[in-house]
A and B are shown apart, each in its own frame.
Chain A
Amino acid sequence: MRVPLSWLREYVDLPDDLSTEDLAHRLTLLGLKLEALERPGHDISGPLVIGRVLTMEPEPQKNGKTINWCTVDVGDANGTGEPQGIVCGAHNFAPGDLVVVVLPGGVLPGGFEISARKTYGHVSAGMICSSRELGLGDDHDGIIVLPADAGKPGDDVFELLHLRDEVIEFEINPDRAYALSLRGVAREAALAVGDVDAFHDPAARTVPAPNGDGYPVLVEDPAGCPVFAARTVTGFDPSAPTPTWLSRRILLAGMRPISLAVDVTNYVMLELGQPIHGYDGDRLAGPIRVRRAQPGERVTTLDDVDRALDPEDLVIVDDSGPIGLAGVMGGATTELSGTTTHVVIEAAHWDPVSMFRTGKRHKLSSEAGKRNERGVDPTLPAIAADRVAELLTTYGGGTVHDGVTLVGEAPSREPIRTSLALPGVVAGFEISDGTAEESLLAIGAGLAIDGNGVEVTPPPWRPDLTDPFDLVEEVVRQVGYDVIPSVLPPAPSGRGLTRAQKLRRRVGRTLAGEGYVEVITFPFVGDQDLDALGLPADDERRTVLRLANPLSSEEPAMTTTLLPGLLKTVARNAGRGATSTALFEAASVTLPHGGGPAPIYGVDRRPTEGEIADLDKALPDQPLHLALTVSGEREQPGWWGEGRAASWADAVDAVRAVAEVLSVEVTVRAAKRAPWHPGRCAEILVGDVVLGHAGELHPRVCTAYGVPARTAAAEIDLDALLEHAVALVPAPTFSDYPVAKEDVALVVDDSVPAADVEAALRDGAGDLLESVRLFDVFTGDQIGAGKKSLAFALRFRAPDRTLKEGEAGAARDAAVAAAAERTGAVQRV
């Protein structure tokens, strides 16, 4: 809401020593937030005066333009009283006209300094101004021609043109629709200066009683339209100009002046907050009727859009059919035009919900709709219609018809039962009953105090006040939010972070320690992203939850895997020169399971446990996933020697590192799954449950995402992994007797997983075995084609004694025998 201060001052007495900044600050603390403070016209300086054109000589120029060499009487403003010679490019004036002249030494908006200068063969001593040059609007059809009675040559025009003003722009919260008017802001300004009597209500006017002679109006939907007022003006002069002060105010308030009739309806809306619609009475066919639209009906609104109406839309119809979207936007067929002499004025009160829905349905936002959907004072229609009629006839002639139409009446307000002590109780500091009472009266509420408390009847312009706590805010904001004391509430001793929350932090720290950089990506995904992963048609990750209104048609769904976002990030980094990266992300994915709709419950009670469960059942599964990538060099080359390329093993190891800090024992086995390399993909298991995969990406996936070749990646269900985290790690016991070390080299078929051989060794070695570690894998001619040699270091130790000669050897042999039996291993000797 843009508020010209000169206009505001008409309805509220402000102390002379109150700066505009201070006023804006006080209003901000009351809840009307200062957005911007402008001082239009303050960048103009004179001499800027009325001039009378004495002579004008058209002079065609070589460039095709014709300029006028004028002499202008500017009175004594030039110090000499002699006519001023000025070159002017406009042609919309004639000798004898009064114009606006800026003399040398003056400054126009944008720091444009005026001086006498030579141009088109003359010395032009000043400039004849257009509206645009004075910052008065976009009109650049020519220079300003003042009415003949505007004044005499040499008179200052700052006052005349209302050039200088101050405009405070406020951000208005949706509950304070009344402040979308000068009336409402003035009322708040009176609160701001602590004097309710400083406010002069522009709506305080006596209006004629309704009678049967007004324009016929039939309201067929009184719930949608509780009040409809209409007045008629005939003999209106459509060519009458809008007075400068009025168009200036509309412009400063952020609306565009159009014509007197339209400007007046907008002016009254800004003044009172009541949206007005004007009809060309000669184009109305029969009575105005208000009803819901019928199927198939259409209307062309003032913005020239032909709209299909919904049966829920409130419409204005006449005998020709719909002529407007009620309360939101009028129709083209009955629009006020340059020939309108017969104006029918509509001022009505509408059901805000209906207004909101219609505006949303038609994606139509208008100044009228904005006010109507937030709630307007229902006592205003007759007052506003009368005010419009007055202004129209004052400035456009004609007569106000005696007929006064008023259908319906303002609904009465339910009083709110509360206690004057409540504001202090809720605010947490002493607010006396007297202060509470005064504050409520100050906002225009009616109070009836009895033994049980108080009944507060909110004023009609405050539809937002329905609950006792609404009144609390009204009282506390006047007392001042700045006096609320600062007191820490005594929270009971808490339980700290949950175990899962702690473990998730541990996972993040571990990966950061392993050299991975955490990133956060958007969870949106498209088919092409899943195609690029090479997911088969029946892959469960293709079952996505789609968005009804995605930002991008490329990414219309919620992702089921973190890899697309992560791989795009790898590619982005590589594109910026970081080809060696290790990234991770922990975020939830969305896995739809075909649940039904989520119920919508009432809000007058808590839903039952069953109802709450039904809400959750409708939601997709959203497990927390952990994904990581590693590309380029895992270790850099340097003075220490060669670097080391990232590989499948790094991805697997990162997952193992995470599992290890959670004390979860995971196993790994070969798997085939997109987007991984079919020969370099590991399944990560806890027991028999697969928690995720790790390995090198399929070369085609690297190409599709534009990430470095041989990028490795992992993705696991972190929630599932966390569930297996060991809550209580039993303290280990260990022997301090000497260790016996035995190394064995076992030759197996290439296809035998090392993990199987290791497991067999473990099982066969018996209780004395302390650890097994694979320390070398060897292939080559000595071993034979299709074979590999696995070298294991075995460590044996007894808990209670030193091992006897041969004991370790026997255990080793037993281990090898088990490996031989289960994996076909042959010991190399």
Chain B
Amino acid sequence: MSGPNTDYDPVEVTPLKAEQVETMRDAALAAIAAAADLDALKQVRLDHAGDRSPLALANREIGALPPQARKEAGQRVGQARGAVNKALAERTAVLEVEHEERMLVEETVDVTLPTERRRRGSRHPITLQSEHIADLFVAMGWEVAEGPLVEAEWLNFDALNLGPDHPARTMQDTFWTEPPEHHVVLRTHTSPVQARTMLTRTPPIYVVCPGRVFRTDEYDATHSPMFHQVEGLVVDEGITMAHLKGTLDHFATQLFGEGITTRFRPSYFPFTEPSAEVDLRCFVCRGASPAVASCRTCKGEGWIEWGGCGVVNPRVLTACGIDTDRYTGFAFGMGIDRTLMFRHGASDLRDFFEGDVRFSSAFGTEI
């Protein structure tokens, strides 16, 4: 670029003539408008707005003008360059949008292609159901208690008012371990966890115990030597059957929906007195009256046998060191597998234990 031309007489500079500048400007604008894509526009920018473009060269000559002419020429060239740059920016924006649109179209894929490189995992419905139930009770302030599967006979039976000659022992066909005189069994119910809880905690006790249990049942569509139970135990001052009913109604409603409550029928369990069977209002036909004889879930009875419950027998409290003058309690228990079966319409208990991946996978990771 030249320096200010102060030492020279004014000269006439051709490129700075108005018509010349306009010609240069118009040529540039025409070229910009004609540029078809960003590459072409890049060349146009070099040709018409670059350092060696006519307008840039013209700009350099401004210094050669006599001072009185510089201002006018400077304005003229400046306006022309401004117009060119503005046109360039506008054209760039237009071409960029066009370019992006074209590119996005070109990059289109078939989004219906399969995407699963790795098969999904899942958790077992029994685990999920156990956790779901535990959560319902934890939400009420209860805690989840656990105990061993291989259990002392005293805890599985005697402490629960099932003495050595109690007829109820024949109701529960027990797996005994070798040697039998060691008095160790596979727990036949989760009730020894209740005994353990009472032996190790002081009231108030509000616990729920989900877990595996064992009976010497032959394996078929509705029986299994191993299955799952959940039991609940409350020991506190002033606990009544009404509290038991309230708890089970709440449990039923939480698990099966509004309006699904329970019915008690007198029954017998050595560890509770009074005892009751718990029936669940059929959540499919909702026990509509007249009974829906075709209901496959309750077989037209309107009620589903769900489990057992009762007031903790004071003899059990005594064996576990709870002051029976001060405390009463209630307990309940039901089959998790069975609950799952009727809740989800599973027809064969063996599906739970055969491990076919199609079974667990159907339940995902939350139920």
Which residues of A approach B to under 8 Å, CB–CB?
28-31, 33, 173-176, 352-353, 356-357, 360, 373-374, 425-429, 467, 469-470, 472-473, 476-477, 481-482, 484-489, 491-498, 501, 505, 508-509, 511-524, 545-551, 558, 566, 569, 572-573, 576, 578, 580-583, 587-588, 590, 596-601, 603-607, 612, 615-616, 618-620, 622, 634-636, 638-640
List the B residue with the shortest CB-CB distance to A469.
B273
Q: Which of A28, A618, A636 contacts B119 (CB 8 A)?
A: A636
CB distance from B364 to the nearest CB of A (A): 8
Residues of A within 8 A of B226 (CB): 522-523
A selection of 25 A-B contacts at a CB cut-off of 8 Å is A353-B165, A426-B311, A467-B314, A469-B314, A484-B242, A487-B242, A489-B236, A491-B142, A498-B144, A509-B123, A512-B123, A513-B365, A548-B175, A548-B178, A551-B218, A598-B153, A598-B183, A599-B154, A601-B154, A601-B158, A605-B318, A618-B184, A634-B118, A636-B119, A640-B117
Name the interface residues of B310-367: CB closer than 8 Å to any CB of A.
311, 313-315, 318-321, 328, 352-358, 360-361, 365
Q: In the complex the two chains form, is A175's CB within 8 Å of B234's CB?
A: no
Residues of A within 8 A of B246 (CB): 485-489
Q: In the complex the two chains form, is B265's CB within 8 Å of A33's CB?
A: yes
A598 CA to B320 CA in the complex, in Å? 17
List the A residue with the shortest CB-CB distance to B224.
A522
Q: In the complex the two chains form, is B245's CB within 8 Å of A597's CB?
A: no
CB distance from A328 to the nearest CB of B (A): 14
Q: In the complex the two chains form, is A573's CB within 8 Å of B242's CB?
A: no
Q: B64 near A: Cβ within 8 Å?
A: no
Q: Which of A173, A482, A486, A497 contacts B268 (CB 8 A)?
A: A173
Q: In the complex the two chains form, is A476's CB within 8 Å of B267's CB?
A: no
Q: In the complex the two chains form, is A549's CB within 8 Å of B138's CB?
A: no
Residues of A within 8 A of B178 (CB): 545-548
Residues of A within 8 A of B311 (CB): 426, 469, 472
Q: In the complex the two chains form, is B117's CB within 8 Å of A638's CB?
A: yes
Q: In the complex the two chains form, is B118's CB within 8 Å of A604's CB?
A: no
Chain-A contact segment, one of B8-16, B85-93, B166-174: B166-174
Name the interface residues of B134-164: CB closer than 8 Å to any CB of A.
134, 138, 140-144, 146, 148-155, 158-159, 161, 163-164
Q: Mark B170-199, 1 if CB is under 8 A from A, else 0.
A: 110001111111111010000000000001
A477 CA to B264 CA in the complex, in Å? 10
Residues of A within 8 A of B268 (CB): 31, 173-176
Q: In the complex the two chains form, is B175's CB within 8 Å of A29's CB?
A: no
Q: Which of B150, B179, B234, B361 contacts A590 (CB 8 A)?
A: B150
Q: Which of A489, A519, A638, A640 contacts B355 (CB 8 A)?
A: A519
Q: B25 near A: Cβ within 8 Å?
A: no
A558 CA to B149 CA in the complex, in Å? 10
Q: B3 near A: Cβ within 8 Å?
A: no
Q: Which of B113, B114, B118, B155 contacts A615 (CB 8 A)?
A: B155
List the A residue with the shortest CB-CB distance to B311.
A426
Q: In the complex the two chains form, is A477's CB within 8 Å of B266's CB?
A: yes
Q: In the complex the two chains form, is A551's CB within 8 Å of B225's CB?
A: yes
Q: In the complex the two chains form, is A622's CB within 8 Å of B150's CB?
A: yes
A182 CA to B164 CA in the complex, in Å? 30
Q: B249 near A: Cβ within 8 Å?
A: yes
List the A residue with the shortest CB-CB distance to B274.
A473
Name the interface residues of B108-127: CB closer than 8 Å to any CB of A.
113-114, 116-124, 126-127
Residues of A within 8 A of B265 (CB): 28-29, 31, 33, 481
Q: In the complex the two chains form, is B177's CB within 8 Å of A558's CB?
A: yes
List the A residue with the shortest CB-CB distance to B315.
A603
Among B144, B154, B250, B319, residue most surrounded by chain A Cβ atoms (within 10 Å): B154
Q: B35 near A: Cβ within 8 Å?
A: no
A590 CA to B246 CA in the complex, in Å? 39
A615 CA to B182 CA in the complex, in Å? 10
Are A511 and B121 also in contact (CB < 8 A) when A481-B264, A612-B199 are?
yes
Beyond A515-B120, A518-B360, 16 additional contacts (C-beta under 8 Å) are A28-B265, A469-B313, A481-B276, A484-B245, A488-B140, A494-B206, A508-B127, A513-B121, A517-B361, A518-B121, A547-B176, A551-B225, A558-B186, A587-B212, A605-B319, A635-B118
Q: In the complex the two chains form, is B353's CB within 8 Å of A520's CB?
A: yes
List the B residue with the shortest CB-CB distance to A475.
B274
Residues of A within 8 A of B239 (CB): 489
A546 CA to B311 CA in the complex, in Å? 36
List the B residue with the shortest CB-CB distance to A481.
B264
Q: Which of A467, A518, A521, A572 contacts B315 (CB 8 A)?
A: A467
CB distance from A571 to the nearest CB of B (A): 10
Q: In the complex the two chains form, is B249's CB within 8 Å of A486's CB?
A: yes
A612 CA to B154 CA in the complex, in Å? 10
Q: Which of A374, A551, A598, A638 contacts B216 (CB 8 A)?
A: A551
Q: B131 near A: Cβ within 8 Å?
A: yes
A89 CA to B273 CA in the complex, in Å? 60
Q: B261 near A: Cβ within 8 Å?
A: yes
Among A429, A509, A516, residue most surrounded by chain B Cβ atoms (within 10 Å): A516
CB distance from B25 to the nearest CB of A (A): 47
A572 CA to B355 CA in the complex, in Å? 8
Residues of A within 8 A of B154 (CB): 598-601, 615
Residues of B within 8 A of A513 (CB): 121, 365
A175 CA to B328 CA in the complex, in Å? 22
A513 CA to B366 CA in the complex, in Å? 12
A522 CA to B241 CA in the complex, in Å? 37
Q: In the complex the two chains form, is B273's CB within 8 Å of A487's CB?
A: no
Q: B247 near A: Cβ within 8 Å?
A: yes
A605 CA to B273 CA in the complex, in Å? 19
Q: Which of A360, A578, A590, A618 contacts B170 (CB 8 A)?
A: A360
Q: B204 near A: Cβ within 8 Å?
A: yes
Q: In the complex the two chains form, is B274's CB within 8 Å of A477's CB?
A: yes
List the B residue with the shortest CB-CB distance to A520.
B124
List the B residue with the shortest CB-CB distance to A546.
B178
Are A600 and B353 also in contact (CB < 8 A) when A491-B142, A516-B121, A548-B179 are?
no
CB distance from B34 to the nearest CB of A (A): 43
Q: In the complex the two chains form, is A497's CB within 8 Å of B138's CB?
A: yes
Q: Which of B134, B158, B180, B245 contacts A603 (CB 8 A)?
A: B158
Residues of A within 8 A of B117 (CB): 635-636, 638, 640
Residues of A within 8 A of B313 (CB): 467, 469
A488 CA to B246 CA in the complex, in Å? 5
Q: B79 near A: Cβ within 8 Å?
A: no
Q: In the complex the two chains form, is A493's CB within 8 Å of B119's CB?
A: no
Q: In the complex the two chains form, is B355's CB within 8 Å of A600's CB?
A: no
Q: B222 near A: Cβ within 8 Å?
A: no
Q: Which of A29, A489, A548, A580 contacts B180 (CB 8 A)?
A: A548
Residues of B within 8 A of A493 (CB): 141
A676 CA to B263 CA in the complex, in Å? 54
Are A606 and B183 also in contact (CB < 8 A) when A428-B240, A551-B225 are?
no
A33 CA to B347 CA in the complex, in Å? 25
Are A373 and B167 also in contact (CB < 8 A) when A520-B352, A547-B178, A598-B183 are?
yes
Q: Which 5 A-B pairs have the closest CB atoms?
A: A606-B321, A428-B240, A428-B242, A31-B266, A473-B274
CB distance from A314 to the nearest CB of B (A): 14
Q: Which of B146, B175, B181 contacts A597 (CB 8 A)?
A: B181
Q: Which of B141, B242, B247, B365 contacts A512 (CB 8 A)?
A: B365
Q: In the complex the two chains form, is B149's CB within 8 Å of A588's CB?
A: yes
Q: In the complex the two chains form, is A512's CB within 8 Å of B121's CB?
A: yes
Q: In the complex the two chains form, is B142's CB within 8 Å of A494's CB?
A: yes
Residues of B within 8 A of A174 (CB): 167-168, 171, 268
Are A173 and B181 also in contact (CB < 8 A) when A469-B311, A487-B242, A549-B175 are?
no
Residues of A within 8 A of B167 (CB): 174, 352, 356, 373-374
CB distance from B332 to the nearest CB of A (A): 12
Q: B275 near A: Cβ within 8 Å?
A: yes
Q: Which of B204, B225, B355 contacts A492 (CB 8 A)?
A: B204
Residues of A within 8 A of B161 (CB): 603
CB distance from B187 to the nearest CB of A (A): 11
A549 CA to B218 CA in the complex, in Å? 12
Are A497 and B153 also in contact (CB < 8 A) when A360-B170, A505-B131, A635-B118 are?
no
